[in-house]
Chains A and B, each alone.
Chain A
Amino acid sequence: MAHHRLVSLRQTAPWSSRFAPLPSAFLVVAVVIVPLIVLVVETVDDPWSVWSRPGVTGAVWFSIWQGALSTFITLAVGLVPTWILARFPVRGRPILMAVFTAPFVLPTVVVGAAFLALLPTSLDRSLVAILLAHVFFNVSVVVRTVLPVWRSMDENLLAAARTLGADPLKVWRGVTWPLLRPAILSAASLVFVMCATSYGVIRVLGSGWSTVDVEIYRRAVALGDVSGAAVLAAVQALVVITALTMWSRRSSEWAVLSTTIPTRRRRLALEVLVWIIGLAFLVPIAALAATSLRSSTGWSLAGWRNLFGLTESRLPDTKIVEAVTNSAVYAVVAAGIAVPTGLSLARSAARRPRRWLTAIVDAPIGVSAVAVGLGILITYDVDPIDVRASWWLVPVVHASVALPFVVRSAVPLIRSIPSGLGEAAATLGASPWRRWVHVELPLLRPAVTAASAFSLAMSLGEFGATSFLTRRDTTTLPILVESLLSRPGSLSVMTGSATAVLLLVVTGGLVVLVDRRTPT
């Protein structure tokens, strides 16, 4: 009988009550939403004139068509391994799952650097490079969103359709596609948003091309047109948040990745195909690693020596060791903020999803990171709260950027915890405190691990907002990568590439480890 009240407040720990989402909401409102509003209010007089300034409509148009094209290619490429891995047993499945799901958390500048290393000079700052980088990134969104749904589709359901006389095409049209459609559409909408608001990739790869995000940066920094940047940021945020809220009811969480092996017959051709695609994903990474080792005269470890401070750096104005330390400290502090905050929200959202909350917490995805950085500089410069020089500003911003991913990764894990266990413990005489310590906390451990890994990875890779907020002594690794790769000279390229490889190994490794530990 299913007519229990969904939430029995008396039985849950007191801090899980309706106040649980407040810290998350506060973080996002203070770090993202208020700065954006202040930015608009303080700088914009005439919101209409910005549209006639040179480059603006071009950037909007490029965002849209490039986003659509990237999404289309990503789906076309991504659904093939998704299908094979969902339906067929494949040798080396764990490796392939890691290859197809990890790129999403890789820092944008690292992916940019990888394609810069891979492509011949004629292509390396072209549209092709941008599209390839976007596909590389976002195939993991498709795999993460669609594969679990496809995997959970009961073989007998398809068999039932066949016994009812449906040919394979009708089975696809009548059963498979309707069941997959919501997942595919939500993956598509998220991919489109990611590509249309792309910033780090374009900064590294796309000279000449501008998305709205890049245009915001160009106006604010290169042209001094802060009011134009503010209008663009506000409009983009409105469009993106509305779209995310409307389309992606399902995508507000990532299903737990199943590691169970499909029971169907192994098919060699499909196995070969999925391995070819998987290896193709490793090529840019290999190229990046190679670049970090290749000087103008031959193979050399100079870049890596530089990175770890083993040699006296011959690069002016770079504090590599400081950047490593800063990145590590910021990531840990950001996780310290984002994980408890996000888990508190995820716990309440897992039991009772609320759309307005999802919209607020997703705001960091929709609001241009550049605008966040700019907005914070403008908002918090008044005397009592002039925090711009505070060291903790960057980790707080990182926490808010990581928050949507913390929540997304934690909600399905929390939902997989049987909801009656707290009640069962209560009937066995356990007080609210004992229930929290002996039942809830141990069961939350996988969610804490996953949330921490995502938070660390997002913080280590954050580029857009950080690029506004760091000063010379507070630089982070992604900022360093971008700055090294944009300079001439093979030593700076080698060091930049080595730094990128380090970031890639740490962020990708974190997420791969968590996914492998995830219970099925």
Chain B
Amino acid sequence: MSLSIIDVSIAFGERTVLDRESLHVPTGSILAVVGASGSGKTTLLRIVAGLERPDHGRIEIDGDDVTKWPTHRRRVGLVFQDNQLFPHLDVADNVAFGLRTAGWTRPDVTKRVAELLDAVGLSDRRDQSIATLSGGEAKRVALARTLAPMPRIVLLDEPFAGLDDDRRLHLAEVVRHMLQGSGTTALLVSHDRSDVEAVADGIHRLGTHDAITVLSVPVETIRPLRREVLRAGMANQSVEFDGDDDLDTFHLAAFDTTGRVLATSTWLRRDLSSAPGRNAFQLRGMATATDHQSRGLGARLIDEGLTRLETRQVDVVWANARDAALDFYRRMNFQVHGDGFVESVTGLPHHVVMRSMSGRAGDISS
């Protein structure tokens, strides 16, 4: 279930809250929307949920225009910032609410509720009043309640606000585990980028009119995306790379706001023969058009990849670069290694370019 927000604007009286906002979340991805308070993050979620109607633009779920659908028909789950748990129902009945609404049978409801409470670690609280829950527990109940009826899209409004660091980490883990485990497409908003990095596959900055969304994608997804890129652009490459499945490997994909993939980039742990013993990552990218590099797309992908490497103690990142790409890599602080060509896996002549990630790796190119 993919989600597209297309050219959405809304104003409350004189105040424009969202101005022609567009973004796309591919099926199974978790996109974080960040922005200062007052930038319209919550309003964006409310529009997707159908709680507000945009003045302009539309919302599509899997290509269906749902802009005029009432909330209860959309199957879009929303975890409210203040949870909005029903005070007249206990924990289990809160989680069961959406299931009963959808007409699940009693045994199925019981089973599903138990499953979700187990997943959020609150099995022992099922019969408790929601008034007895701590902030973190209430948030987990709200999450379970939203996920229970298997919504097509899940929205999370500042899910980590007001929690201390330990709880935040724990909850982030739970959220990521549950969303990924169910392959749910999700959009979450936060005022703090660091809050959502652990959970989201990518980040969209509200109000920047950013035409590109970069997302981490799993290996099953990257191959079809590569195929799509190749169909549109450069030929003669395989869509399967050695090491795609390695535990350390990660894949990024850049989409435009309509959900069309523009480029992919895969980061593999691979030693460089000229720098033995160094912790090295190889970067392999492809794009639908060569001039995407110069238009900033390549730079975005490299920045996003480097951000994800920050926690991994990597010494050096390297890539095979064609002649035409050398200037681009130089601008990204890569150095050309040696002066000869190497034969890359694609069979084309390439240079090796590398970028040191730490002081001690700087000596490899000298």
Q: Please list the residues of chain A having a beta carbon within 8 angstroms of any beta carbon in chain B.
A: 1, 3-5, 8, 10-11, 417-418, 420-421, 423-432, 434, 438-439, 442-443
Contact = CB atoms under 8 A, between A and B. Distances in A.
Given A1-B38, A3-B15, A426-B72, A418 B87 contact: yes
6 contacts: A4-B42, A4-B43, A417-B87, A418-B87, A425-B86, A430-B98
B46 A4 contact: yes
Nearest to B97: A428
A430 B101 contact: yes
B140 interface: no
B251 interface: no
Contacts of B214: none
Nearest to A420: B84
Contacts of B41: 1
Given A5-B12, A429-B72, A424 B37 contact: no
Interface in B14-46: 15, 17, 37-38, 40-43, 46
A428 B145 contact: yes
A3 B77 contact: no
Contact of B86 (A3, A421, A434): A421
A420 B80 contact: yes
A3 B50 CA distance: 16
| Band of interface residues on B | 35 or more
Given A1-B42, A3-B17, A420-B80, A11 B86 contact: no
Given A11-B71, A428-B101, A443 B88 contact: yes
Contacts of B51: 4, 8, 11, 423, 426-427
B38 A439 contact: no
Given A1-B38, A3-B15, A5-B52, A428 B146 contact: yes
Nearest to B142: A424
B149 interface: yes
Interface string B42-67: 11001001111100000000000000
Contacts of B145: 428
Contacts of B77: 427-428
A443 B78 contact: no
Contact of A423 (B12, B37, B71): B71
Nearest to A417: B87
Contacts of B98: 428-430
B84 A424 contact: yes
Contacts of A421: 84, 86
User: Which 7 pairs between the two chains have the least Cβ-Cβ distance?
Assistant: A428-B98, A426-B71, A424-B84, A427-B78, A1-B42, A420-B84, A442-B88
Contacts of B53: 10
Given A1-B43, A5-B52, A429 B82 contact: no
A396 B77 CA distance: 46
A76 to B, nearest CB: 39
B358 to A, nearest CB: 41
Contacts of A442: 88
B102 interface: yes
B70 interface: yes
Contacts of A434: 101
Contacts of A426: 49-51, 70-72
Given A427-B76, A428-B97, 15 more contacts: A1-B38, A3-B17, A3-B38, A3-B43, A4-B51, A10-B70, A10-B71, A420-B84, A426-B49, A427-B72, A428-B145, A428-B146, A429-B102, A430-B97, A431-B72
A324 to B, nearest CB: 37
A472 to B, nearest CB: 48
Nearest to B77: A427
Contacts of B82: 418, 420
A94 B273 CA distance: 83
